[in-house]
A and B are shown apart, each in its own frame.
Chain A
Amino acid sequence: DGGITQSPKYLFRKEGQNVTLSCEQNLNHDAMYWYRQDPGQGLRLIYYSQIVNDFQKGDIAEGYSVSREKKESFPLTVTSAQKNPTAFYLCASSPRDRSTDTQYFGPGTRLTVL
């Protein structure tokens, strides 16, 4: 089946630890995105990548890092520098490298900092 997968579904982290969230797609999409969703708020863009080996900061990139070594994969690392990391993290992809095109989402990872 074609789609976007994220793992893990739930993640618990101690303060001061870095964690990496996985995002994989087999849709052959060029562009991939990471969003954060907090209760009662819209999605906020963390990072996006329009092509392999290139990525751009979104609106709230501080405390996060990404890589795009393969077209299929776009992992997000939440570093200890992120002040309030507890949130629902969503990965998305779109067929072309236009950020205003339709995006398709993975099932998300819920990160809780203990």
Chain B
Amino acid sequence: RKEVEQDPGPFNVPEGATVAFNCTYSNSASQSFFWYRQDCRKEPKLLMSVYSSGNEDGRFTAQLNRASQYISLLIRDSKLSDSATYLCVVGSTGKLIFGQGTTLQVKP
């Protein structure tokens, strides 16, 4: 079992749609949680940290469920510019562990 697992997609959605990505992690002692965004052939960039109480940044909402070892990212009112790969990242055993990413394609 991978330490951090994501559905690779691709998710193809129309503009304005709401889309949700899920991520599971295997180490129950994990300490920190993030979502990064990676555009094609570019470096990953921090989208948001994920806190136990859940957090929101504009159209983006992140949730953490420690009991189920599950993280989610919800994107509302999708824009064409949201098209990218979204990486689930978990801080565990003294390092960050990156999921393989979920690809989102928003179409007009």
Contacts and interface: CB of A to CB of B under 8 A. Distances in A.
Contacts of B97: 42
B99 A42 contact: yes
Interface residues of A, number: 22
Interface residues of B, number: 23
A100 B101 CA distance: 19
A6 to B, nearest CB: 9
A105 B45 contact: yes
Contacts of A104: 46
A35 B44 CA distance: 11
Interface of A: 35, 40-45, 48, 58, 88, 90, 99-108, 110
Residues of B contacting A: mostly: strand
Nearest to A94: B96
A99 B95 contact: yes
A99 B42 contact: no
A100 B91 contact: yes
A84 to B, nearest CB: 18
Nearest to B97: A42
Interface in B8-57: 8, 31-32, 34, 41-46, 49
A58 B97 CA distance: 11
A58 B96 CA distance: 11
Given A35-B98, A105-B45, 5 more contacts: A42-B100, A48-B95, A100-B91, A100-B94, A101-B32
